[in-house]
Structure 1
């Protein structure tokens, strides 16, 4: 039964607050890795498992969250996830060794996986069915803004405090969210209570999805099939995925109910959610690396650049929700969102080594507006036909596909950057020869510049060669990043036809559970 008045808004703020805990912690650790490595005496490869372990645990629980909510009740499961996440945050902050911290991060990821989809399901049930677009928009504030502001918050905390505080900040928020859930959220029916547990399904899911996530997180840095454990994990992913699908289709009480794929809008919607994750997480991954490694921006400058785009998303989300409520087709809005995201990518693909902070303001504003026009309509289209216990299952699968889309996006883009940089370097080196007037002029200018500072002819020649090599590296990476930005833009344009395979509805309304 839908809520009204002050209670509805308290529940809304509570579930958004809880989901933000999980979403911000997905990226907040990244910028603190150097300090953690220094304090705990870890290598970058070992410290990377702090991110990988969290992501693997998170993506394993996401598709199961609907079943867990049905078995224990959404309120109980949601509150338990918040409490466990808060306790895990305390343990992470108090960790005295790297492996201890990795274990606690995995625990945090397991708890976090239950926050996102359960929060969305509770929010959909809380709002009247004719206002589900607005509910999705409010949920989208956390889902889109969280990964964007995570590095900014992490950078600020790391610069001004010690790294444990990136975990300690979760404590008051988690405690308040748990209290408000206990006071205001009503319990939903426990559809799966008393049913046998699908242990085989859980095992196959954990092995398949967990192996896939590790492959995506570590594959490029480990040179893919050249590393034995990556090859084993790829085989494990395929075998476990086949076994999981067979198990879930043959058992009477599956942990993930694939029967919801009979709804065309949902089956197409998980593909568009995958595309959204690819664009959202892929662009968030590329941009800070591009700004800091190539243009020399500080972490704080990069965070400040991302902030206005995040604010644009925040301001637009309620507007998009109202547009959906007034009957504007979700397909039309998502098409505009894809086009805006392409414009953002195209503008960044024209970046130069002279680009400054002012050159990125409008592209990031356009991206922020585009993301609001994508997340809300795409999520609404995906879940428009779901009701009852299908809402929790659908929310879990939809969020998992967005998460996997991000993981695939980062893995693919990282690999492409590696490949394209080699190709672009070879192309540029073709012009580095004494018969090229432009190169000869540039090299001579370097030599004369160093000689004017008092260096000998031999030293000036050596330094000029190094300066040329530095220019080649910078130009190579610039062309590579520009190519990748354009590739992401073309990818999102190719996704537009998918949304027109979903049903057109005015005033999208979801049947909700009765309490």
Structure 2
């Protein structure tokens, strides 16, 4: 039976032109999905104006997509088996493409939010399924390289979104960030139907055997958690009754979901696969990778725009060197894995380099930091991400066999997304809270009895008087400018703290790498579903 399964899986290996086309199709779909998670960030202001929405309303454009995304990812393995991978993949691309058109044509904010949710349901399937299709199209000896090619899309995607979105919004209008998906989606659908093949899965479940309660509990637990993470800071966390209610709902939803999946004969998510120690450790590392990847991708554009006054396009372009470095690193890492370099060493190096990047950013941050100060730290970030993504993915799945590998891949995909959501939520909260604390700490330094403070106020007052303001007006403006300066310093200090703690988090991951079993890393990825 096992020999037959391996034979079926080997039959999916492609060569020559077919493999090139399948690889391009899968990477294109992964890029479409990931770029769409970040491309809307720079267009929210334009959406708010043209749709007559509030900032709270327009934030749902991101939240709806993220919730749908993270609900469908753990179900992808099961859905592929039910409908056949090619059919499921092609249908997901069609859903994603059609909903992109509908998003661009939305006439009010809640229409857009509804279509974004549908787009997220289609998009969530693209990531894990694209990884599986690429992996199975390559022979066993080249699967490290296959992971590297897939990883280029996953790592580069989040940083392509902001500059691309900024360019489209500055030169056209926000609906075009959705319309660009349509031709690419049509091409990807056509190529999928023509070239992608499905493995034989055996008998499908009857409707009565489907784990409907598992689906409901998963959606309740993940959906509530994602909402809490997206809206917690702006709604003042547990002081808000809705956030508190959804937090309790998410907690009990998780408990019931775990119980249901462990006792049901045909679970929607196979939790028993977490008995594998390497997957457990890999899941933690993937979560932290998501935290660092999405967190640092989020924090840099926000800092450069709010503190340094960059445009949306310039802030997005700043991340390009990091993306290019990661893209260059991916095939190199794939080759190293093929040559037998232990992933344990690569992951340790990746976490250590990310620590160096974080401390470097901590040291570089001032209210006057320029583009030239960011370039080399971001190149170092690109090297660190390159060293982390492929080795962590292969290590996580290295001691799994058969169909368990597919369930493991779904876990790593879900935890990477959740890691990003936790990262953004925690970073947003810390910037706000620490910024307030630093301001409180800095205010006593503005003692009007101190000579240097008096000198500063007088020089600012004379500057405003030179511009034609009266003595009293100039004094008030001097105090306002000094207050703004203190606030800016407080914000910079809070960003410095974020980078320092991010660095410490990555350094603390190194001992987890040592928990990986000896000899792990030669992953048989043939059964990823």
Task: State the TM bucket, normalised to the shorter chain.
Answer: over 0.9
Equivalence for 1:349: 362
CA drift at 1:114: 0.8
CA drift at 1:57: 0.5
CA drift at 1:191: 4.6
SS at match of 1:193: coil
Equivalence for 2:125: 114
Q: Deviations over 1:238-265 (max 9, x none)?
A: 1110000000000110000011112211
Equivalence for 2:177: 166
Equivalence for 2:349: 336
Q: Is the Cα–Cα contact under 8 Å of residues 118 and 392 in structure 1 kept in the other structure?
A: no
- In 1, distance between residues paired with 2:401 and 2:177? 38
Equivalence for 2:471: 457
Q: Is the Cα–Cα contact under 8 Å of residues 342 and 493 in structure 1 kept in the other structure?
A: yes
Q: Does 1:105 align with 2:120?
A: no
CA drift at 1:278: 0.4
Which one is further off, 80-89 or 434-443?
Answer: 434-443
TM-score under structure 1 normalisation?
0.97
- In 2, distance between residues paired with 1:140 and 1:49? 28
Q: Does 1:415 align with 2:426?
A: no
CA drift at 1:505: 3.4
Equivalence for 1:264: 277
- In 2, distance between residues paired with 1:291 and 1:489? 20
SS at match of 2:399: coil
- In 2, distance between residues paired with 1:39 and 1:191? 51
Equivalence for 1:481: 495
Q: Does 1:205 align with 2:218?
A: yes
Q: Structure 1 residue aligned with 2:79, among 60, 68, 90?
A: 68
Within 5 Å, give how 1:436-455 maps onto structure 2.
Answer: 436-455=450-469
Equivalence for 1:383: 397
- In 2, distance between residues paired with 1:34 and 1:346? 33
Equivalence for 2:5: none
Q: Structure 2 residue aligned with 1:374, among 368, 384, 388?
A: 388
CA drift at 1:94: 1.3
Within 5 Å, give how 1:8-157 maps onto structure 2.
Answer: 8-157=19-168
Q: Which has the higher contact order (CA 8 A, sep 6+)?
A: 1
SS at match of 1:48: helix
Equivalence for 1:300: 313
TM-score under structure 2 normalisation?
0.95
Q: Does 1:220 align with 2:272?
A: no
Within 5 Å, give how 1:491-502 maps onto structure 2.
Answer: 491-502=505-516
Q: Which structure 2 residue ranges, 5 or more long, are not aligned?
A: 1-9
- In 2, distance between residues paired with 1:45 and 1:293? 19
CA drift at 1:385: 2.5
Q: Is the Cα–Cα contact under 8 Å of residues 99 and 119 in structure 2 kept in the other structure?
A: yes
SS at match of 1:256: coil
- In 2, distance between residues paired with 1:41 and 1:123? 43
**Backbone CA RMSD of aligned residues:** 1.5
Q: Does 1:230 align with 2:254?
A: no
- In 1, distance between residues paired with 2:461 and 2:484? 15
Which one is further off, 122-131 or 26-35?
Answer: 122-131
Q: Structure 1 residue aligned with 2:338, among 306, 311, 325?
A: 325
Q: Is the Cα–Cα contact under 8 Å of residues 327 and 507 in structure 1 kept in the other structure?
A: no
- In 2, distance between residues paired with 1:320 and 1:345? 22
CA drift at 1:387: 3.6
CA drift at 1:507: 7.0
Q: Which structure 1 residue ranges, 5 or more long, are not aligned?
A: none
- In 1, distance between residues paired with 2:275 and 2:63? 33
Within 5 Å, give how 1:241-320 maps onto structure 2.
Answer: 241-320=254-333
Q: Deviations over 1:338-373 (max 9, x none)?
A: 121112111211211221111111011111111111
Residues 454, 100 of structure 1: alpha-carbon distance in 2 compared, 3 angstrom cutoff:
closer
Residues 52, 209 of structure 1: alpha-carbon distance in 2 compared, 3 angstrom cutoff:
same
CA drift at 1:73: 1.5
Equivalence for 1:510: 524
Q: Deviations over 1:175-198 (max 9, x none)?
A: 111111111111112356135100
Say how many residue pairs are matched.
515
- In 2, distance between residues paired with 1:68 and 1:192? 13
CA drift at 1:436: 2.7
Q: Is the Cα–Cα contact under 8 Å of residues 328 and 506 in structure 1 kept in the other structure?
A: no
SS at match of 1:512: helix
Equivalence for 1:395: 409
SS at match of 1:340: helix
